[in-house]
C-alpha cells in the first residue's frame, strides 16, 4: 500500500504538467519547450508553482508578488522533500 502512495505522489505533478501543456497555454510563460520539459523530469512541483506565480500571482508589469514567491518556495520544498524522503527511511536505527 505504501508503494502505491509513493507512486501516486511522484506521478501526480507530472500528470498535471502534461494536462496543462496539452490543453492550456498556461506553460507559455517559460517561452520555450525546454524548461517545462526539464521541470517535468527534475522538479515538477516547482515547474507548476512558477507557472501559477507568473500567470496568477504577478503584477501587470510582470513582476512576481510576494505570494507568488511563497508559492514557488513551497513548490521547491515539496520537490526537495519528495527527493530526500527516502534517505531517512533508508537508514537503519541503531537502537
Cα dihedral across residues 57, 63, 68, 74: positive or negative:
positive
Assess contact for 88 and 80: CB atoms under 8 A: no
Residue 9 confidence (pLDDT): 79
Give the three cell numbers for residue 81.
522533500
pLDDT at 81: 83
Quote the pLDDT of residue 89: 59
Sign of CA dihedral 9, 13, 19, 22: negative
pLDDT of residue 93: 54
| Mean pLDDT, the chain cut into blocks of 10 residues (95 residues total) | 80 93 92 93 94 93 93 92 64 56
Amino acid at each position: 500500500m505504501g508503494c502505491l502512495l509513493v507512486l501516486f505522489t511522484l506521478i501526480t505533478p507530472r500528470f498535471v504538467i502534461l494536462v496543462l501543456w496539452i490543453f492550456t497555454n498556461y506553460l507559455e510563460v517559460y517561452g520555450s519547450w525546454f524548461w517545462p520539459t526539464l521541470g517535468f523530469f527534475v522538479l515538477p512541483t516547482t515547474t507548476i508553482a512558477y507557472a501559477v506565480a507568473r500567470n496568477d500571482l504577478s503584477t501587470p508589469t510582470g513582476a512576481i508578488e510576494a505570494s507568488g514567491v511563497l508559492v514557488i518556495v513551497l513548490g521547491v520544498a515539496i520537490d526537495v522533500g519528495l527527493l530526500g524522503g527516502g534517505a531517512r527511511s533508508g537508514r537503519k536505527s541503531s537502537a
